[in-house]
Structures are given as C-alpha cells and as structure tokens.
Amino acid sequence: MFRALHAKQNVQLTIGLMIGVFFGFLLQKGGVTKYDVIMGQLLLTDFTVVKVMLTAIVTGKIGVHLLKSLGRAELHPKPGSFGSTVIGGLLFGIGFGLLGYCPGTMAGAVGQGSLDALFGGIVGLLIGVGLFSEFYPILEKKILSKGDFGDLTFPRLFKMNHWFLIIPLAAGIIALLVWIEISGL
C-alpha cells in the first residue's frame, strides 16, 4: 500500500480529479451519459449500460483482488441493511427511471450539454440529498437500521476463498455478455 501517498491530501485531490476526468471521458465515449442510451437500457431495448457495467465489474473484480493479494490494496465494502439497501435501492430506481441519468452519468451529461441533467437532475439531486440529511436522524432510527447485515461480502457469507467466487462469477458474466451479443441485443 502506498500509505504515504494516501496521506497527502492535496495530491489526493488532484488524483481524484484526474480519475474523474478519465471516468467522465470513458462514460461519454461509451454513450452512457446519454438519456436515450440509459432509457434504452431501462426499456430493455439497448443493452449498452449492462455491457459497460458488467465488463467493468469483471475487470475491476479481478484487478482489485489481485492488488489485495499483492498487499497493494484494501477492500472497503459498504455496509447495508434491508431497510436501507432495498427501500433506498427501489427509490433510487424510481428516480433513475424518471430522470434517465444516475448521479455520475448526470455530471457527464452536463459536460456534453444536456440541460435537463443540469437544471432538472443536478438541482433535484441537491434537493433530494438535502431532504435526506434533514430526515436522516428519524430514518436512521426507524428504517435504515432494520435488517442490518453490516459490510458482509459473499466470500465471508459462504465462508470460501474469494477466488472460488470470482472466477466462476467472471465466467458467468462473460457467458451472459456473449449470449447478449448473439441475441443481437
């Protein structure tokens, strides 16, 4: 681990910016900053979003776990609960279907000139996260903590070595992508 590098705050801000620039460039080149492409995915007529995401997951999954095996990276899985992950996830989905962008692709959409993403999406998103922070204490107490399972990962859940999950899962995802291509989706 590059601990000294991780501790340099200003350098980190610059690295964050650079990673963002490459990320935004790739998202726009992939077409996934476009409303038409994202809605095509949600209407199940255009599988570009799924192709990008699944390929990124396979590549990243193998890469990050290799870095971990080499002692160069640590995992940071997010904690979850049924009250937070399932209800929040479904709410997110409803917003996703109405808006046609997600928080990251929305920043990219603004960069390519989509005004609905700027004046609708970004403004709405800021209102939404503001409302959430206002009601967070009560939501935390009543809903978010229900059915808490912490930062569980599948290797810990199934008590097995992560490579025994990563390799079959990667093979399954690649098979699914090949099937999507063959079906002409």
Partner 1 sequence: MEWLSLEQWSPYAVGVGIGLLSCVAFLLSDKPIGCSTAFSRTSGMIEILFRGQKVGEKAYYKKFAPSIDWEWMLVLGIFIGAFISARLSGDLRTEWVPAKWSATFGDSVFLRWVVSLIGGTVIGIGARWAGGCTSGHGISGTLQLAVSSWLAVICFFIGGIATALFIFHVV
> What x-and-dash track marks residues 138-157 binding partner 1 by CB under 8 A?
-xx---x----x-xxxxx-x
CA distance 109 to 33: 5
Note the residue count of the chain. 185
CB of 182 to partner 1, least distance (A): 14
Among residues 13 and 171, whose Cβ is nearest to partner 1?
Answer: 13
Q: Give pairs for 36-40: CB < 8 Å, separation 24+.
A: 38/100, 38/101, 38/102, 38/105, 39/100
- Residue 165 in contact with partner 1, rule: CB under 8 A: yes
- Residue 184 in contact with partner 1, rule: CB under 8 A: no
DSSP class of residue 46 equals: -
Site for partner 1 in 80-139 (CB under 8 A): 80-81, 84-100, 102-117, 119-134, 136-137, 139
For residue 78, give Cα distances in angstroms to 2, 74, 75, 162, 176: 22, 13, 10, 17, 26
Site for partner 1 in 20-79 (CB under 8 A): 20-36, 39-40, 42-44, 48, 51-61, 63-64, 67, 72-79
Unique residue bearing structure tokens 């160069």: 72
- Of the CA atoms within 13 Å of residue 131, those in its CB half-sphere come to 6
CB of 25 to partner 1, least distance (A): 4
CB of 109 to partner 1, least distance (A): 7
CB of 18 to partner 1, least distance (A): 7
